[in-house]
Amino acid sequence: MVMRKGLLNWVVALMLSAGLAAEPIERSTAIEIHTIAKRMVNAIMQGNYTVSVDAMHPTLIERGGGRDAVLQTTLNAMDQLATQGYTIKSYTVEQPTQAHAAKSELVVFLKTKLLIDGFDRQIKSDGYLVASKPYSSGRWYLFDGSVIRDLNDLQTIYEGLSDRITLPEVTNQTVSKN
């Protein structure tokens, strides 16, 4: 008997939520998420921050005071960087390799590398994006993992997410150009 894809996804999610911290992600799903993430990163590089705000998880939009407030906060932060002479030189994102099941969503992490250039220094940042897709819909949400304090904070967004998940490491390095 052949299982329908939706049923198979539900079974995998049930198995993951039963205690497994991660499961390898299907190649087609990894490519789909990576493509969406690259589009978002490219929009950010072009100064179109609306794309990143519109991709955010509804819980984060709510925490930030609504879509318009989150967009304004983002625009203010990027304007402040520009005023201080900083520009984003590169922003790359890797394909995800593992999926994590929460109660109602599939969650994956995509590692990122960000290079911000200033007058006399560069900031190199290794971070990650969080991508999630509710089991009941076809839409992926994405946001920068730097807004997450720790696993407990992430679990307030994704109920039922395993305690055995290790968040990707976030590092920032400032390098003098002199």
CA distance 43 to 115: 16
Q: Model confidence at 3, in pLDDT bands (50, 70, 90)? A: very low
Judged by DSSP in three states, 69 sits in helix
pLDDT higher than 80, residue 129: yes
CATH topology for 5-176 is Nuclear Transport Factor 2; Chain: A, (3.10.450)
Amino acid at 113: K
Give me the percent of the chain exceeding a pLDDT of 90.
78
pLDDT higher than 60, residue 9: no
Sign of CA dihedral 89, 173, 69, 103: positive
Its pTM stands at 0.84
The residue ranges of every structural domain in the chain are 5-176
What pLDDT does 21 receive?
56
